[in-house]
Structure 1
Amino acid sequence: MKALSIVFAGTPEFSVPALEALLDSRHQVVAVYTQPDRPAGRGRRLAMSPVKQCALRHGLPVEQPGSLRDPAAVQDLARRAADLMVVAAYGLILPPAVLALPRLGCVNIHASLLPRWRGAAPIQRAILAGDQVSGVTIMQMDAGLDTGPMLLERRCPIELRDTAATLHDRLAALGADAIVQAVDALAIGTAQARPQPETDVTYAAKLRKEEALIDWSVSACQIDRQVRAFNPWPIAETRWEGRQLRIWEAYCEDVPTMTGAMGGTMAVPGRVMAADAMGLRVATGRGMLRVTQVQIAGRKVQPAADFVNAYRLEGVVLGT
């Protein structure tokens, strides 16, 4: 098998396993493209992306153009004369001039089973929607938004307690394995691209921080999915005595919520029906939500059982 020369483009932690897998393969990564260093942390100091850190550990050339529409960036990429460009959560748009440069084109590792969840946040949107299965798709890139023909798919169940963080890690590992298989097939000429179905297309819009605010009038199961989908960012939250209360972990108790008296307290959505060693039991539009990990603004995450030892919560209506 002929070894391919590859330019790798990626930025976040999701991309790192794929880069490392390619470095362990017979193929040669000739350069790494990643987004420019960004301010991070309380000190707002410039921080390198996880991909840049990985590339530097391996002594790889790193390029960080602000845009690939810059003619100088395109010329630099052309000088690499790569057979293939592998993209994994890079975060910059590849214009047609870049897509046409590598001999075998550009392929992308996308964290969904296309055409479901094209776009920026496929992992979180899959959990929010209650999907039972996810996966990765290796696709040949074109000028559209995740619309190119598919080279390879790998499926992965979404477990009942999966968060965006746990599903992210499994899909990153799955994508790393799949990209090596796809690149090997491209190298020997056996890769067969097939068009995406034109039906059942969904779009995974970028997450907005406002989506983290809990609406207690919806079902406990919907809120449970919201809590899991927004962990580790932006973290589902509610209001408590005018303060931000983040909910890091919760699960639904699928029992009817009475709108009348329950233990002498009205079970209106958001009301804390019990606060004990098991955490907070909160009424919703349907069912009860058991909250097990919380965080007050400016404090560390703590078990809800510890939180209720410090504050009187029973009977309080959250979200007000």
Structure 2
Amino acid sequence: MTSVIFMGTPEFSVPILKGLVANDYEIKGVVTQPDKKVGRKQTLTKTPVKVAAESLGLPIFQPVKLSRSPEVEELIQMHADLIVTAAYGQFLPTKFLNSVKIAAINVHGSLLPKYRGGAPIQYSLINGDTETGITIMEMVKEMDAGDIYAQEAIKIADNDTTGSIFAKLSIVGRDLLLQTLPQIIADPSKKTPQDASKVVFSPNISKAQEEIKLTMTATQANNLIRGLNPDPGAYILVDGKRLKVWQAAVSSTTTDLPAGSLVANNNCFAISMAKKTVLELKEIQPAGKKRMDVKSFLNGQGGKFKVGDQIAK
């Protein structure tokens, strides 16, 4: 039986871990990020991978920092056949990568060399790409720079968000990994180097990137909203306050009103954007409140916003 150390953290990783178990790979250990406090009540919450590993009765490791931790030394001594990572969230020490007998493999959520880094799915949506995919790759010291074992592309639909793409790619990643592992085990040298001239990076999303700016067209703003849904969410400043936007649409109409003006407010909260485009807000979340549809939001405003008003900054 081929032994595996599995490393992952979010929901994306869970089908991949379960697929390995269901296909009789021996999971020597599951490494995931530490439990963290979540929400207003700061409830200590397990990662989705930890929950899955507990249900499967697998050994769990949660070092705050893997490098130089007692846990990494224990993992090295396992001398597993494979390391399989899927959205783990930390760099892996070279001595750990080199400790396995066959290969250290990553299930990466992009078509490398495009979108190396921690937010490949988010950037594919923010940039308006029409496809994304999964890369099964060798792990090396440099981030996402390893040779490629296999790739599979999927189309990005107009209504896709980062959440929906994560869900789709977790299944694609599981199936492609299980399909590719036998050939890796048989001949780990059979792989293709990445084209360094086509590398694009996708660093983690910054706080500054969360703001919908009036210099954006409606399409650019809508892509940002889709890319930051479900986390952390994009916001626009309306009446000087942050208004998170969870769902929007690009209007087929144009306007001569300055960017940031209210174009319509009759069961449709539409704001003018750059280049005369119009963004229709569908699902929003005022600061300190729950998500709501636009109709519920407008009902609570008492006619405060008038068509033509400069409401966004």
Which residue in the other structure is 1:314 paired with?
A: 306
Aligned-pair CA distance for 1:297: 1.2
Q: 2:278 aligns with which of 285, 288, 312?
A: 288
Per-residue deviation, residues 215-235 of structure 1 (Å, max 9, x unmatched): 123211101101111111221
Q: Hey, what does 1:235 align to over in structure 2?
A: 233
The percent identity for this pair of structures is 31
| Counterpart among 289, 294, 297 of residue 304 in structure 1 | 294
Query: Given the two structures, how large is their TM-score scaled by the length of structure 1?
Result: 0.92
| Residues 1:45 and 2:24 are matched in the alignment | no
Distance in structure 1 (CA, Å) of the matches to 2:70 and 2:176 = 32
- Residues 74 and 97 in structure 1, CA contact (< 8 A), matched pair in contact too: no
1:176 CA displacement: 1.0
Q: Which residue number in structure 2 is paired with residue 149 of structure 1? A: 147
Q: 1:276 aligns to what SS in structure 2?
A: coil
Match of 2:71 in 1: 73
Asked if the contact 1:214–1:319 (Cα under 8 Å) also holds between the matched residues in 2, the reply is: no
Amino acid at match of 2:271: V
1:271 Cα offset (Å): 0.7
Assess, with a 3 A threshold, how the Cα gap between structure 1 residues 191 and 159 changes in structure 2: closer, same or farther: farther
Map Cα deviations across residues 63-115 of structure 1 (whole Å, 9 max, x no partner).
11222321633320123221000001111111110110010121001000000
Aligned equivalents of 1:293, 1:248: Cα separation in 2: 5
Letter aligned with residue 233 of structure 1 = D
- The letter of the residue matching 1:307 is F
Counterpart-to-counterpart distance in 2, 1:126 and 1:71:
34
Structure 1 partner of 2:165:
167
* Distance (Å, rounded) in 2 between the aligned partners of 1:148 and 1:192: 13
What are the superposed Cα offsets for residues 182-226 of structure 1, whole Å, 9 maximum, x if unpaired?
Answer: 222223337721101122210001011221111123211101101
- How do 1:28-177 residues align onto structure 2 when only pairs under 5 Å count? 28-70=26-68, 72-177=70-175
Would the aligned equivalents of 1:151 and 1:191 in 2 still touch at CA under 8 Å?
A: no
Residue pairs, 1:167-246, within 5 angstroms: 167-189=165-187, 192-246=190-244
Q: Secondary structure at the match of 1:31?
A: strand
Bigger shift: residues 268-277 or 187-196: 187-196
Q: Is the 8 A contact 2:149 2:184 kept in 1?
A: no
SS in 1 for 2:7: strand
Contact 2:63 2:69 in 1 (8 A): no
Residue of structure 2 aligned with 1:23, choices 21, 25, 34? 21
Alpha-carbon shift at residue 10 of structure 1 (Å): 0.7
SS of 1:120 mapped into structure 2? coil
Q: C-alpha separation between the residues in 2 aligned to 1:208 and 1:159? A: 25
Question: In the alignment, which of 257, 263, 280 is matched to residue 273 of structure 1?
Answer: 263
C-alpha distance in 1 between matches for 2:19 and 2:189: 19
Q: Secondary structure at the match of 1:173?
A: helix
Q: Structure 1 CA distance, aligned partners of 2:131 and 2:239?
A: 39
The CA distance in 2 between the partners of 1:314 and 1:21, in whole Å, is 54
Q: Is the 8 A contact 2:262 2:270 kept in 1?
A: yes
Structure 2 unmatched ranges of 5 or more: none
Q: After superposition, give the CA deviation of every residue in 1:9-36 in whole Å (9 maximum; x if it has no partner).
A: 1111111111011111132112101112
Say which of 5, 8, 16 aligns to 1:7.
Answer: 5
Paired with 1:224 and 1:78, the residues of 2 have a C-alpha distance of 45
Does the aligned pair in 2 maintain the 1:252–1:289 contact within 8 Å? yes
Matched residue count: 309
SS at match of 1:87: strand
Aligned-partner Cα distance in 1 for 2:76–2:233 = 41
Other structure's SS at 1:113 match? coil
Give the Cα–Cα distance (whole angstroms) in 2 for the partners of residues 291 and 75 of structure 1: 51
Instruction: Mark the runs of 5 or more structure 1 residues left unpaired by the alignment.
Output: 259-266
Deviation at 1:38, TM superposition (A): 1.5
In structure 2, the partner of 1:261 is: none
Read off the aligned partner of 1:28 and give its amino acid letter: E
Q: Distance in 1 between matches of 2:23 and 2:91?
A: 27
SS of alignment partner, residue 244 of structure 1 = strand
CA RMSD of aligned residues (A): 1.5
